Structure 1
């Protein structure tokens, strides 16, 4: 009975999302209320009101770490978009080659990871899918390929979800980021293969297998190296820039007839329909480069890093919470927003409209994420997580390695958010790892990887995709297709994770 009661918050979330078709916001809040009722009424999990308030407020503090970054990430996107910058980048990528398969490869492994890494929130899909339709793909293909392009979710919004996972699981951020990158390597190759298959079938894979292999391997190696030796927060941005650059170079070499067009595009480039002026592609990319440079400097120069980590720090020892406001990627996104406003001479009206829409998108995220994290904290404080982990340990033992990816996958599928999934399940995964003797950082990395890559099949993402591409009547078909694709990714994660465990090949 105790186990069933302990599982009720998760059951409640599932039922609200899928049976009653509620939003993540409502599901999170209602499930939080259910959790409160359990710990206040059920004797085995009863805790004091003071402990309840403490755990709930700690949930808010943990969520604020992600919210601080995400707000400026969303604002940055809208500022760039309202200046015509996104259209300029899209125009540039679509003009460098007339080969649709190469265009898909550049979008999936280049532009989409860049947009997702800086802005998060699935914004990359909202840009890539319309571009694909403009390039001549059917709405169903555009929606499917656009969703598959969300392969950089672990590093979305400068890795906010991964940061949350590291904090909740007590795993060093660098270890979690690097572990996620290692486990994701075959998944990156798989997703790019799927994207090309969706675009042109088996023949497209046969014809472009060299480019697929080259760029997916470059992206994989880059994201591993940047996580391990530079910065987890910057890994997605840097990897996408490296991969995009090499992809463009490959196109130049293979398609010399388009070399003149590419050079002219780089030097002159793309037209902004929004303000009626020509936007130089270097100018458009400069905010991304500035953001990368600023965070790079803040992480790699010891004196600057020490200063940023020790000034303007929010510290609440009683909650084991500390946030260096200047060291956080959120601060550098704020500076980048100011730079973007200045360099593009953005009007007050556009700034105001960008702020309004950013707040409208940001507030539900903060509330729902806080609810999910608070549920996790309350369950841990009331020993509900311990009860579930203990039962899982007894039932599965070391075989839990087969179950862990499905738990992460369910979290990503349910919430449509790596942050939300990590908030719900990281503590459970880590506690179960302790019970079964499995490596904590391996299980935490499995959770982070599987939950991130499952978000592309989330009902909320599918609904958005069907609506954006005008295929509402085919929403179920799209959900089925993406669910099968994600299941393939989960199986790859299981195979790789079991291999690491069997051969004792894990750092």
Structure 2
């Protein structure tokens, strides 16, 4: 009974979404179920509430500001035509077929997400996809597939948490996570190519998508081994972008990026360059931890907006962004709160330990446990904070390779967050207006893809210990 109560917050959320409930209602249901479960079976010590609130409140505010800044930058660039100009240039340079789609899914979005995190990658990728002639529902799903390299999101703090809590070398966990990521990289390439292609061209497009996933795996694995885990996602994705653009150079016609497109590209450079430069100054200067917010994407998104618009955007544009933020922010915030409640109460660790009583059968369940953390928190860092220590202890008790086990956990926890309600809500708001009419299709499609990947990772988790 207690195990059922512990699983109730996650189960109620998933069931609500499957039945077509809105993201906000599902989030409220999950938090409500967590509160009832805490009262019934998992009491939280009173003396731990205030310190936990102080620890998580700044992070919650930071994430909500990042969501707002990402929506505002997207709206400003869309209104000015910058996204359309960039999209047309990318399509012209990356060649015919699904090349431009894969450039976004395995290049642009992972690059931006690796440097900034918190969904900024889809705030850049989805507006570009919206100009590729795809239906709005496919734009949302393909945009979310770009969140395939989240173990390196925000320069890899989630993977660092997993390595620290499981007592593993950070670079080793990064490299092994890159090898395991072959599965999600190939699947996202194949699904994106399938959705973006007419039926007659799908066989070739699917092969192209699979090869793109293999290349991204190779590039991130190599850069992880050569330069360490934090920059590996960004460097690997940047190599993919360069590869697609170099292939486009073989085309005869000259393609020039319009002025507004160059300004849009420069605004992204302000964002990404600001985050990197501020982070470097903080590290080199040995500044206190509180200075890390200067290197957060939160202020730099707004700086990029002001730079592009040469001031604060007009009132009507700000109003539309505010309305979008009010639909996304509560969902994102509530799911972070749900993750905090499950971690504070011991609910998450209890669930993992209960499942571990099944013995070696837990190898099949372990990736789903990590994935549930990513789904609930919408964050690889949050998922690993919830489960990494417990997962590593269970792996050692089962006598399996802890490095491989935790790499599978890390990738699974990262991948299912693309199906988290907060990310889906943000994707819908960034997509063309009629995406909201296809909310249920978007939810079920991305959730089905994500669960398929996690199920494949579960099978790998079972087979590898038997083979080696």
TM over 0.5: same fold? yes
Between the aligned partners of 1:175 and 1:129, the Cα distance in structure 2 is 32
Distance 1:428 1:9, change over 3 A: farther
Residue of structure 1 in register with 2:310 after alignment = 346
- TM-score, normalised to structure 1, is 0.72
Residue of structure 2 in register with 1:494 after alignment = 458
Q: Which runs of 5+ in 1 are unaligned?
A: 273-278, 299-303, 313-323
Between the aligned partners of 2:138 and 2:45, the Cα distance in structure 1 is 53
Query: What is the CA-CA distance between 1:285 and the residue it aligns to?
Result: 4.8
Query: What is the CA-CA distance between 1:249 and the residue it aligns to?
Result: 0.1
Query: What is the CA-CA distance between 1:369 and the residue it aligns to?
Result: 1.6
1:187 to 169, 178, 184: 184
Residue of structure 1 in register with 2:371 after alignment = 409
Residue of structure 1 in register with 2:277 after alignment = 294
Between the aligned partners of 1:17 and 1:427, the Cα distance in structure 2 is 29
Kept in 2: contact 1:60–1:374 (CA 8 A)? no
Secondary structure of 2:133 counterpart? coil
Secondary structure of 1:134 counterpart? coil
Residue of structure 1 in register with 2:215 after alignment = 218
Between the aligned partners of 1:463 and 1:474, the Cα distance in structure 2 is 12
The size of the alignment, in residue pairs, is 458
Q: Which runs of 5+ in 2 are unaligned?
A: none
Residue of structure 2 in register with 1:200 after alignment = 197
Residue of structure 2 in register with 1:485 after alignment = 449
Secondary structure of 1:96 counterpart? helix
Between the aligned partners of 1:385 and 1:186, the Cα distance in structure 2 is 26
Between the aligned partners of 1:306 and 1:337, the Cα distance in structure 2 is 23
Residue of structure 2 in register with 1:33 after alignment = 35
Between the aligned partners of 1:358 and 1:227, the Cα distance in structure 2 is 37
1:53 equivalent to 2:49? Answer yes
1:444 to 396, 406, 412: 406
Between the aligned partners of 1:72 and 1:216, the Cα distance in structure 2 is 28
Between the aligned partners of 1:370 and 1:164, the Cα distance in structure 2 is 19
Query: What is the CA-CA distance between 1:118 and the residue it aligns to?
Result: 4.2
Residue of structure 1 in register with 2:336 after alignment = 369
Bigger-Rg structure (1/2):
1
Between the aligned partners of 2:423 and 2:313, the Cα distance in structure 1 is 30
Deviates more, 1:345-354 or 1:92-101: 345-354
Give deviations 1:448-499, integer Å, cap 9, x for gaps. 3123222334456556656744155544444443343223322332344345
Between the aligned partners of 1:177 and 1:66, the Cα distance in structure 2 is 26
Paired residues for 1:131-210 under 5 Å:
131-159=128-156, 161-162=158-159, 165=162, 173-200=170-197, 204=201, 206-207=203-204
Residue of structure 2 in register with 1:317 after alignment = none
Distance 1:159 1:81, change over 3 A: farther
What is the Cα-based RMSD across aligned positions, in Å?
4.2
- TM-score, normalised to structure 2, is 0.78
Kept in 1: contact 2:62–2:298 (CA 8 A)? no
